[in-house]
Structure 1
Amino acid sequence: MSNSDFLKALNNEFTSRVPRTEYSAHVHWELIKAVTGINTDIIEQRENASREFVKKWRYGFFWNTLVNRKHLEEHGRTTRMGHAEYAEKPDGATDYDSITTNPFSDPEKALELDPVKEYGCFEESVLISSFRQKYEEMEKKFPQAHNMTGIYITMVSGLLEIYGWDTFLTLIAYDDKKLGKIIYGYYEWISQFYSALAKTDIPVIMSHDDICWTSGPFTHPDWYRKYIFPCIKKLWRPLKDAGKKIIFTSDGNWTEFFSDIIDCGADMAVMEPCSDMALFAEKYGKKTGFTGNADCRILLSGTKDDIKNEVKRCMNIGKKYPGFIMAVGNHIPPNTPVDNALFYNEMYEKMCIR
């Protein structure tokens, strides 16, 4: 039912319940234990416990991509910015990473980069097979939810994996035109993955690109409209021509660019609480789906009244639109108090009925 409700929402058809999804909750082991009764302290039981959790919380879709920094690292150089400890992996390992490296600290040398030459071409048949294999793996892991695959490093996110924030922002100011040529070169490189996706039979594609900070755009909006959005629109064209549905995700406050992403062809948008979901709903909600945007900080430290009011806020915005999907943005992290997460779910269940 949750799967079919999501597809109806994606196609702008009303359902009796507001569908939902969540991010990272499927690795919140204490929460999963509380919801499923499965002992997640036993590593071998975690995969099944995650599956049961997603089923019990009735995910409409499961957020997933395939193409990430590893595809850059396979042939070329990337910057490592380190990673704070966020979650314990299913195998019990930590995701903490203290290593930082930057092979592009010299601006002049950084501007010599040829992305196609540096990061190489992949055989299309191999890419198609990889996408299909990942999709089938997700179908087996979470059969109750609608699954997808996609690309994490679309434009800005990919350039950040290459340069890191310091060098990337420096290059924007140092030589915008030379950087522009590299951006177009990156577009040429990443387009091979979008072209391959268009030739798969996977119906829903996730296109991720962290285009903004929490405070909004990190440079003048004109820069995005000159270099980034024309590339995204061209990347999505083969997907649209093939009849795929595209879900776009960005962290941060990208309210400034709602119209640009709609113009690129997004069928649904995933947003954090810092983006203005009410504005998106008012302007585009009749034709375009949207997912969000309860504030995870309220689940972390708010009262039950705070949590109830946050779910109510989201429902008041989205419930009257057919393409609304409820979710906490940008994640339900593992340090979220279990009681708060359970109460959030209780409020969702009470308020999701149309």
Structure 2
Amino acid sequence: MTCSDGWAALNLEMPPRVPRTEYSVTEHWGVIEAVTGLQIRPDSPPELKRRGALALMRAWHFDFRWSTLIGGDELAACHTDMGHAEYAAGGVDRRDTVYCPFKSPEEVLAFDPWETYGPQDEEALTRRFEEHYRRQHEETPEM
């Protein structure tokens, strides 16, 4: 498991083996248990879930770790919702809601995030992103 293989794939180069990443399997507790032996459930403590996810990434030799910092909570004032198909065990992730705040492409193009979300503290955002990156790198320096 090396980040050089992951970076090669991102640069459309072919390393000696096909690099691997996954975008949600690290939250499939049955898969984690089958691969790592760790018994994790949806209501397990966050630290145990994190440990299980990291164990799975290493067992499956991930070459690239997908991670996002900004999400729905911060963007709640104006976002779309396309719903979500059943994917997780028990269908706990299924969401039939479909919503779009825009009525036309012109409304999308006229959207002003500064008007909707207001000015952001650039230094605070920079610190958050740098800290998030640092934590990810400390947990998985090889990815």
Structure 2 length-normalised TM = 0.69
Do the aligned residues in 2 keep the contact of 1:59 with 1:144 (CA within 8 Å)? no
Are 2:57 and 1:54 aligned? Answer: yes
Do the aligned residues in 2 keep the contact of 1:62 with 1:145 (CA within 8 Å)? no
Distance in 2 of aligned mates of 1:103 and 1:79: 7
Are 2:131 and 1:133 aligned? Answer: yes
Q: Secondary structure at the match of 2:21?
A: coil
The one-character-per-residue Cα deviations of 1:56-80 (angstroms, maximum 9, x if unpaired) are: 111111122333444432xx43343
- Report the AA paired with residue 56 of structure 1: A
Compare relative contact order (CA 8 Å, sep 6+) and give the higher one, 1 or 2: 2
Distance in 2 of aligned mates of 1:143 and 1:64: 12
Identity of aligned residues (%): 35
- Report the AA paired with residue 26 of structure 1: T
Are 2:84 and 1:87 aligned? Answer: no
Do the aligned residues in 2 keep the contact of 1:58 with 1:145 (CA within 8 Å)? no
- Aligned-pair distance for 1:122? 1.3
Q: Secondary structure at the match of 1:126?
A: helix
- Report the AA paired with residue 40 of structure 1: I
Equivalent position of 2:140 in the other structure: 143
Q: Point out the structure with the larger helix share.
A: 1
Distance in 2 of aligned mates of 1:84 and 1:64: 21
- Aligned-pair distance for 1:131? 1.0
The one-character-per-residue Cα deviations of 1:126-177 (angstroms, maximum 9, x if unpaired) are: 221121122133234x41542xxxxxxxxxxxxxxxxxxxxxxxxxxxxxxx
Equivalent position of 2:26 in the other structure: 26
- Report the AA paired with residue 55 of structure 1: R
Distance in 1 of aligned mates of 2:11 and 2:80: 39
- CA 1:119/1:84 → structure 2, altered by over 3 Å: closer, same or farther? same
Equivalent position of 1:65 in the other structure: 68
Structure 1 length-normalised TM = 0.32
The one-character-per-residue Cα deviations of 1:191-218 (angstroms, maximum 9, x if unpaired) are: xxxxxxxxxxxxxxxxxxxxxxxxxxxx
Distance in 2 of aligned mates of 1:87 and 1:53: 17
- Aligned-pair distance for 1:39? 1.5
Distance in 1 of aligned mates of 2:142 and 2:93: 26
- Aligned-pair distance for 1:46? 2.7
Equivalent position of 1:36 in the other structure: 36
Provide the alpha-carbon RMSD of the alignment. 3.7
Distance in 1 of aligned mates of 2:119 and 2:65: 29
- Aligned-pair distance for 1:27? 1.9
Unaligned 5+ segments in structure 1 are: 89-93, 147-354
- Aligned-pair distance for 1:116? 3.2
- Report the AA paired with residue 43 of structure 1: S
Q: Secondary structure at the match of 1:31?
A: helix
